[in-house]
Amino acid sequence: MGLPDEITIQEANNNLDIIEHQGRVYLAFRTAPEHFASDQTELHVVSSIDQETWTHEVSFSQDTDLREPRFLSLEDRLFLYYAVLGDNPLAFEPQGSRVSVLQDDSWSEAVEIFDADFIP
Protein backbone atom coordinates (compact mmCIF):
# COMPACT_ATOMS: atom_id res chain seq x y z
CA MET A 1 0.00 0.00 0.00
CA GLY A 2 1.51 3.33 -1.02
CA LEU A 3 0.75 5.67 1.85
CA PRO A 4 0.74 9.46 1.45
CA ASP A 5 3.88 11.39 2.43
CA GLU A 6 2.03 13.01 5.37
CA ILE A 7 2.04 9.69 7.22
CA THR A 8 5.04 8.22 9.05
CA ILE A 9 4.62 4.57 9.95
CA GLN A 10 5.94 3.42 13.32
CA GLU A 11 6.73 -0.14 14.48
CA ALA A 12 3.19 -1.16 15.53
CA ASN A 13 0.30 -0.72 13.09
CA ASN A 14 -3.08 -2.03 14.20
CA ASN A 15 -6.59 -1.12 15.35
CA LEU A 16 -8.14 -0.44 11.99
CA ASP A 17 -11.50 0.04 10.35
CA ILE A 18 -12.48 0.34 6.71
CA ILE A 19 -15.64 1.54 4.98
CA GLU A 20 -16.95 2.62 1.59
CA HIS A 21 -18.58 6.05 1.59
CA GLN A 22 -19.77 7.97 -1.46
CA GLY A 23 -17.54 6.09 -3.93
CA ARG A 24 -14.36 6.12 -1.85
CA VAL A 25 -12.81 3.57 0.49
CA TYR A 26 -11.73 4.99 3.85
CA LEU A 27 -9.18 3.27 6.09
CA ALA A 28 -8.43 4.32 9.68
CA PHE A 29 -5.48 2.83 11.57
CA ARG A 30 -3.33 3.32 14.65
CA THR A 31 0.47 3.59 14.47
CA ALA A 32 2.75 3.66 17.53
CA PRO A 33 6.21 2.54 18.69
CA GLU A 34 4.67 -0.69 20.04
CA HIS A 35 1.31 -2.34 20.59
CA PHE A 36 1.06 -1.06 24.16
CA ALA A 37 -0.12 2.40 25.22
CA SER A 38 2.15 5.27 24.15
CA ASP A 39 2.16 9.06 24.08
CA GLN A 40 3.53 8.79 20.51
CA THR A 41 0.41 7.11 19.11
CA GLU A 42 -1.17 8.54 15.98
CA LEU A 43 -4.47 7.67 14.37
CA HIS A 44 -4.63 8.21 10.60
CA VAL A 45 -7.39 8.20 8.01
CA VAL A 46 -6.63 7.67 4.33
CA SER A 47 -8.98 7.24 1.38
CA SER A 48 -8.84 5.85 -2.13
CA ILE A 49 -10.96 5.39 -5.22
CA ASP A 50 -8.94 2.45 -6.60
CA GLN A 51 -7.33 1.09 -3.39
CA GLU A 52 -3.89 1.60 -4.94
CA THR A 53 -3.41 5.36 -4.63
CA TRP A 54 -4.21 6.70 -1.17
CA THR A 55 -4.96 10.26 -0.05
CA HIS A 56 -4.33 11.56 3.46
CA GLU A 57 -7.62 12.63 5.00
CA VAL A 58 -6.92 13.49 8.64
CA SER A 59 -4.64 12.48 11.53
CA PHE A 60 -5.14 12.61 15.27
CA SER A 61 -2.60 12.64 18.10
CA GLN A 62 -3.15 13.72 21.69
CA ASP A 63 0.10 12.76 23.48
CA THR A 64 -1.69 9.64 24.71
CA ASP A 65 -2.94 6.35 23.31
CA LEU A 66 -5.72 6.35 20.70
CA ARG A 67 -7.47 3.11 19.67
CA GLU A 68 -10.54 1.41 18.28
CA PRO A 69 -11.40 3.60 15.28
CA ARG A 70 -14.91 2.92 13.99
CA PHE A 71 -16.60 4.46 10.97
CA LEU A 72 -20.29 5.15 10.47
CA SER A 73 -21.59 6.26 7.06
CA LEU A 74 -24.90 8.05 7.40
CA GLU A 75 -26.39 9.79 4.38
CA ASP A 76 -23.82 12.39 3.25
CA ARG A 77 -21.73 12.28 6.43
CA LEU A 78 -18.96 9.94 7.54
CA PHE A 79 -18.35 9.67 11.28
CA LEU A 80 -15.11 8.45 12.84
CA TYR A 81 -15.29 7.39 16.48
CA TYR A 82 -12.22 6.44 18.53
CA ALA A 83 -11.17 5.73 22.12
CA VAL A 84 -8.70 7.82 24.09
CA LEU A 85 -6.57 5.93 26.62
CA GLY A 86 -3.57 6.73 28.79
CA ASP A 87 0.14 6.53 27.99
CA ASN A 88 1.17 3.96 30.61
CA PRO A 89 1.86 0.66 28.80
CA LEU A 90 1.08 -1.31 31.98
CA ALA A 91 -2.28 0.28 32.84
CA PHE A 92 -5.78 0.61 31.40
CA GLU A 93 -6.57 4.33 31.68
CA PRO A 94 -9.76 5.18 29.75
CA GLN A 95 -10.12 8.88 28.98
CA GLY A 96 -13.29 8.80 26.90
CA SER A 97 -14.15 8.78 23.24
CA ARG A 98 -14.03 11.28 20.42
CA VAL A 99 -15.87 11.72 17.16
CA SER A 100 -14.91 13.59 14.00
CA VAL A 101 -17.28 14.06 11.06
CA LEU A 102 -16.50 14.30 7.36
CA GLN A 103 -19.03 16.54 5.66
CA ASP A 104 -18.62 18.61 2.51
CA ASP A 105 -15.04 17.30 2.03
CA SER A 106 -13.87 18.56 5.43
CA TRP A 107 -13.22 16.72 8.71
CA SER A 108 -14.43 18.40 11.90
CA GLU A 109 -12.31 18.80 14.99
CA ALA A 110 -12.65 15.70 17.17
CA VAL A 111 -14.98 16.32 20.11
CA GLU A 112 -15.63 14.36 23.29
CA ILE A 113 -18.65 12.08 23.47
CA PHE A 114 -20.02 9.83 26.22
CA ASP A 115 -18.70 9.83 29.80
CA ALA A 116 -14.92 9.96 30.25
CA ASP A 117 -14.73 6.42 31.66
CA PHE A 118 -16.95 4.83 28.98
CA ILE A 119 -15.27 3.14 26.02
CA PRO A 120 -17.86 1.93 23.48
pTM above 0.85, yes or no: yes
The predicted pLDDT at position 80 comes to 98
Q: Which of 34-38, 89-93, 116-120 has the lowest mean pLDDT?
A: 116-120
Listed in sequence order, the residues at least 6 apart from 39 whose beta carbon sits closer than 8 Å to its beta carbon are 63, 64, 65, 87
The predicted pLDDT at position 2 comes to 82
The predicted pLDDT at position 20 comes to 98
Specify the DSSP class assigned to residue 51: S
> Which comes out higher in pLDDT, residue 117 or 64?
64
What average pLDDT score do residues 80-108 get?
A: 92
